[in-house]
Chains A and B, each alone.
Chain A
């Protein structure tokens, strides 16, 4: 029975999305149909209550503000400076400034707990520059799609907080556990860029003229504004002046200040940046609202719970369990966002996972990586949505160029399974 409901819902969602209906409204519509058909609950009231609760929550405030920060930086010379400062150093690495996507995402991930915000900010800065420099679109967009999911794995991370509360494991330890896998995954992404570039030498633009070490160092002065902005945001978090949520507001303030100093801030650029930020947030927010209601509908129908119960009833070996869970979350990730996936399934899955002998910290990192994968699989993948907003490309194209990075993450999951110390070494040796 459940499998038929699940199948019917997925098909309906695909059809409605394919018909060209706006994505947020598609999710809303499918949720309404699902709830009307499979529950006896008053649908409309449940919808408005849930959507209001989700969209007016304090934890969400960081996302729009980081989006705004990205728009301000995009209109300043800061992003240009980032490339000017980094390009000489990356000149000899195969793939050259494509690595800015990875490095930039990894650095921004230290500031932001969300992968959509990371994707939007770095994308706004890096994509136009990469285009201008003649890098192929598929790699420019794909690397960004993959690397920006690091926002979840490198602390701070919203999803780790959600998991930590659900699984009753230390959020501080989870954060620490994410550090090494985050760095390793960033290296794997860069590694993929290197291999791809060696195989496709003709597609990478020619290197700039070679520069001496002193020249490289001198070019790095362009990085000072970016570095000071990151230092401001990070410093405010780690000195206790601001919480991770509030740091976004300091980021906005800092970017405004910096563009004021370098005289790129005009009334017109302020206005257009603000309006663009409102529209991008509105686009993402409408989808978030639809996803929140679809999550509620799923909760009422009990679909994720029943599927998770089914997985638990199979009594699999740890390895097979892990493989099945990856598949399970990839399927769920097709139509739910990451946080909802965790909230809806953890109470049912955790006993199974514990019985199979998985360390709950390790499993938290596993979940985060799997959720990262879900961010870049169509039809519901928030990083793809952000990228569609940025590039106006089709979801199918975006899903396709992100696919190699999806596979890199599969590799990462296997790595953490066979070498669990990648995850567990740091938290074990904490204090």
Chain B
């Protein structure tokens, strides 16, 4: 089970990296296209989708690595017991909010599909296709939060945070 979810995070992260590289490639292609008189319609829309893919697909790994920032000042001043309780609240609220987000991401892609929503830009792509990236990423985010919550219950480590001091001096 653990191995499965870890592979999910890894696959999504791979997708995020590919999205970033695609955005880079697409924009370079756009510059080249302008210089060399080809016309490739809709490139800027594709770059936008790719960048959205980077954001959403990276959500679970970013959470796991502790890179999503939070205000931990209060948390650190509390007793370990109070800290643990507050962490339940944070992970619980995170699970609920990410589920809420994932649900409406799915709903949006579904509505786009049933309404035959197409991009108004030159790419004219059916919008549900790029929106799948947001659906996949936000579902992964839910899995990651649920995983973190269960790990906290079981007293297992979830976050793979590098030490703060190390990060500062690396």
Contacts and interface: CB of A to CB of B under 8 A. Distances in A.
| Contact present between A and B (CB < 8 A) | yes
A129 B78 CA distance: 34
B70 A65 contact: no
Contacts of A379: 71
A20 B72 contact: yes
Interface class of chain B by DSSP: helix
A336 B86 CA distance: 26
Contacts, number: 194
Nearest to B106: A48
A25 B17 contact: no
Contacts of A25: 93-94, 97-98
Interface in A256-285: 271, 274-275, 277-283, 285
Given A45-B107, A242-B31, A395-B71, A29 B54 contact: no
B51 A48 contact: no
B101 A28 contact: yes
Given A246-B31, A389-B67, A281 B55 contact: yes
A156 interface: no
B73 interface: yes
Contacts of A287: 69
Interface class of chain A by DSSP: helix
B74 A58 contact: no
B90 interface: yes
A379 B89 CA distance: 20
Contacts of B87: 20
A279 B61 contact: yes
Nearest to B166: A392
Contact of A65 (B23, B97, B131): B23
Interface residues of B, number: 63
B69 to A, nearest CB: 5
Interface in B89-144: 89-90, 93-94, 97-98, 100-101, 103-105, 107-108, 111, 130-131, 134
A278 B16 contact: yes
Nearest to B67: A279
Nearest to A378: B71
Contact of A60 (B51, B59, B111): B51
A389 B62 CA distance: 11
B13 A48 contact: no
A394 interface: yes
- The range of chain A's interface size is 35 or more
Contact of B97 (A28, A51, A282): A28
Given A19-B74, A396-B73, A281 B58 contact: yes
Interface in B41-60: 44-45, 47-52, 54-56, 58-59
Interface in A112-135: 127-128, 131-132
23 contacts: A17-B70, A21-B70, A23-B70, A32-B100, A44-B100, A47-B101, A48-B107, A56-B48, A58-B47, A64-B54, A68-B24, A132-B169, A241-B31, A246-B31, A275-B17, A278-B17, A280-B67, A282-B16, A282-B62, A379-B71, A388-B69, A389-B69, A392-B167
Interface of A: 17-25, 28-29, 32, 44-45, 47-49, 51-52, 55-58, 60-61, 64-65, 68, 127-128, 131-132, 236, 241-242, 245-246, 248-250, 252-253, 271, 274-275, 277-283, 285-287, 289, 379, 385, 388-396
Given A44-B103, A275-B13, A286-B62, 19 more contacts: A18-B73, A20-B75, A20-B86, A21-B70, A22-B94, A25-B93, A29-B93, A48-B104, A52-B131, A55-B55, A56-B49, A56-B130, A58-B44, A58-B45, A60-B48, A65-B23, A282-B62, A287-B69, A389-B67
